[in-house]
Amino acid sequence: MKVINVVGARPNFMKIAPIIDAMNLRSEIEHLLVHTGQHYGQKMSQAFFDDLGLPKPDIDLGVGSGSHAVQTAGIMVAFEQVLLEHKPDWVIVVGDVNSTMACTITAKKLNVKVAHVEAGLRSRDMTMPEEINRLCTDVLVDALFTTDHFADENLIQEGVPQDKIHFVGNVMIDTLLKHRDKAQDLGTFERFGLEPGQYVAMTMHRPGNVDEKSTLQGILEVLKRLSHDIPIFFPIHPRTAKMISQFGLDDYVSTIPKDGKKLGPGVWVTDPLGYLDFLNVNMHSRLVLTDSGGLQEETTVLGIPCVTMRPNTERPITCEMGTNLIVGNDPQLIESAVCKILAGGIGEHRIPPKWDGKVGQRIVAKLIELGV
């Protein structure tokens, strides 16, 4: 069986790694790795390949940044040539980024079978580009690998035949469990002048939070206020860095001094971190403040409280069982959620079923069973 595994953006790398590991153990599968180049460079791409031990991509489409249409079309044009040359039996796509959707459409139009890992997640928020990517992908693919019961229910409700849906668990958690011990003692937070359990780890990059000046300014104002109670450590996504500078909001954030001295009040920004460094920062934090999807899941497994600055989540299992609070981007709601956690924590939480480190193996076993 010949398989093409696709990655494009930062959150894809930790999802494909366990699948490649599992494929390497099975002689039935010959596999190639295609990187679309949606994310690129050392910090957004290469650092993850290094940390996760991912093989160098067999093919790099080098598409880069652009508007949605430009980026999606660029990936499709380049990926079509790859499919025509290599003629795979299956294409595996993960997550919900533009690369996921673009490669799915291209493969299906050439009658190549596609499997989607992390299928069925729905925010029901059509202003999120990711929701459009999820819907387009799931309606087309031949195998839908799901993380939880909500995803299965969404797909059934949308009329996806039951025999195409495979509940395997959360593959990104395979990567977390594999690297947890190594990340534990890396000393990353100390290097930045942080003390264990005494800082907020923050990420933010959603267009809904950073692309409008008033929204971004409102969030930065509340962060600055909160940082008098607890320092905020903010490895900053390139989109957010660009918008802060474009809107002239640089005064709200401070750059971390290189001397490693203890950080006081402030919203402390630094360049994006690699996988292991961020895992270290995450697991030793008091709480995580984010608009990411994956972090809602990682904090659930680590037992770290998570305040999600979005009006909705496609990952409700992290609220039902985990440590996640959805608060939107209203500054007052963000402030009261953070203060509540600082005052008392989050109560009972559990790890969802099949988030157990064996998901890559389940996916590959099922693919082999499905055959060419």
Q: What residues make contact with ligand UD1 under the rule CB under 6 A?
A: 9-11, 38-41, 44, 65, 96-98, 129-130, 205, 237-239, 242
If one counts every other C-beta atom within 10 angstroms of the C-beta of residue 85, the result is 8
Nearer to ligand UD1, 235 or 316 (CB): 235
State the minimum distance, in angstroms, from the CB of residue 185 to ligand UD1: 27
Q: Beta partners for 287?
A: 200
Beta-carbon contacts of residue 305 (< 8 Å; ≥ 6 apart): 286, 287, 288, 299, 323, 325, 341, 345, 346
Cα(279)–Cα(273) distance, rounded to whole angstroms? Answer: 9
Quick check: is 237 catalytic?
Answer: no
State the minimum distance, in angstroms, from the CB of residue 78 to ligand UD1: 16
Pairing of strands 306-308, 324-326: parallel
State the minimum distance, in angstroms, from the CB of residue 289 to ligand UD1: 16
Q: Check 39, 205, 284, 349 and give the catalytic one.
A: 205
State the minimum distance, in angstroms, from the CB of residue 205 to ligand UD1: 5
Selection from 286, 293, 285 nearest residue 309 by Cα? 293
Nearer to ligand UD1, 11 or 266 (CB): 11
Q: Is 28 helix (H, G, I), strand (E, B) or coil?
A: coil
> In Å, what is the CA distance from 80 to each residue of 86, 87, 120, 193?
10, 10, 25, 48
Cα(144)–Cα(93) distance, rounded to whole angstroms? Answer: 10
Nearer to ligand UD1, 74 or 352 (CB): 74
DSSP of 111-124:
T-EEEEEEET----
Task: Give me the count of residues in the chain.
Answer: 372
State the minimum distance, in angstroms, from the CB of residue 9 to ligand UD1: 4
Angle at 168 between CA 306 and CA 314, to 5 degrees: 35
Nearer to ligand UD1, 5 or 38 (CB): 38
Nearer to ligand UD1, 67 or 214 (CB): 67
Which active-site residues does the annotation give? 205
